[in-house]
Amino acid sequence: MTDAMTDVVVVGAGPAGRAVTHRLLRRGVEVTLVDPHPSRPWRPTYACWADEIPAWIPVDALSAQTDSVEVRTPDAVRIERGYAIFDNPGLRRTLDVDGARIVAGTAQVVADDQVITESGPIRTARVVDARGTAGRGPRQTAWGVVVPRERARPILRDADAVLMDWTPVTPDDALGIASFLYAVPLDDKRFLLEETCLAGDPPLSMGQLRSRLERRLGAAAVASATQTESVSFALSGPRTPWRSRSLQFGARGGLLHPATGYSIGASLRAADVVADAVATGEDPQSALWPIPARAVYRLRSAGLRAVLALDAEQTRRFFATFARLPVERQRAYLTGREDLTGTLSAMATMFAHTDQTTRRSLVRAVTGRAPVSDAARG
């Protein structure tokens, strides 16, 4: 493929890369998609709030959907906001890339006007780098099991899904980092029960998470599971993604929420923003990162520092407060990437309703006046 030329080269064939390729192709843009394993099945469980899903995503791209989720701190609060879990094969079919030139290879060099693989350079007017986060800094980790629905019922009680159960597991392992149980349906018959470290630097290991899950569910229940899932990804994106030479997209390009780890909903919605800009000759970087989005990104990055600064008990109190925010303020902070007013309002409300000790930790983390606490370091 030496000296091949194409309108856009997309590097990375995960959901974000395929989404932007798919939307570019729908606008008649010539695309080359580069990935070492472009046909490899997706293993992680992808989920987002139902109101994030673009209208062009069909129902058969979802495997399960609930009208509400519960947060337990350990007091239970039901959040009346729809939550959706993607069916990975169905999502891949939706994000079809028929018509793209597929290069099965590793991008050795990614520049603003070319990508070099083992088979040679691919020259282009535009590069979109969607290879995922770089892997440095704070991480989110999780380890879980897939169980039949009836086995999950005692955990769920009367909830459709449990987004976070921060109830401490006993005996306490004295690690100082809180983790939560994530319990969501994968389809009509199966549930994912996953112990999650929201953010750590370093985070809880897979062994530590498995140990907590066994104590929470019982070792026999974990051992009897027919499928397991492990998750580990970096939460820190680029400091200023809007200034990168090539267009970084998806988790790599700042669309991963640094304080929660969610990215797929934002990436699916942003794929149209990029595709529209490219098709009309506008700057996709500017379209993707208007001034309010840049400010929100900085605030969310401060939110990650705040989460890292909290000890286990402060973390539980923090999320107890967050769970009781009005849904519109939760939505603004979690998914309103251009909603500066809503994000500020949510953060101000959180600050006003936290206890004095937690408030001091938040101030130190956001202003950079003190290092992350020893407890947060694990």
**Mean pLDDT for back-to-back runs of 10 residues, the chain (378 residues):** 78 98 98 97 97 97 98 96 98 98 96 93 95 87 96 95 95 90 97 97 96 95 92 92 92 94 97 98 97 96 92 93 96 97 94 85 69 36
Do residues 275 and 39 make contact, with C-beta atoms less than 8 angstroms apart? no
CA distance 95 to 41: 13
Sheet holding 69-72, edge to edge: 76-79, 69-72, 162-165, 180-185, 190-200, 139-148, 227-234
The position carrying tokens 């695309």 is 31
The tens digit of pLDDT for each residue in 129-186 reads 999 987 778 999 999 999 999 999 999 999 999 999 999 998 888 888 999 999 999 9
Strand partners, 142: 196, 231
Q: Is residue 337 exposed (0-12), middle (13-18) or buried (19+ Cβ within 10 Å)? A: buried
Angle, helix 15-26 to helix 264-279, in steps of 10 degrees: 30
Angle CA 155–256–206, to nearest 5: 50
Summary mean pLDDT of the chain:
93
Secondary structure tally for the chain: helices H, strands E: 13, 17
CA distance 108 to 99: 24
CA distance 214 to 15: 31
CA distance 246 to 239: 15
Q: Residues 6 or more apart from 210 whose CB is under 8 A from it?
A: 143, 195, 222
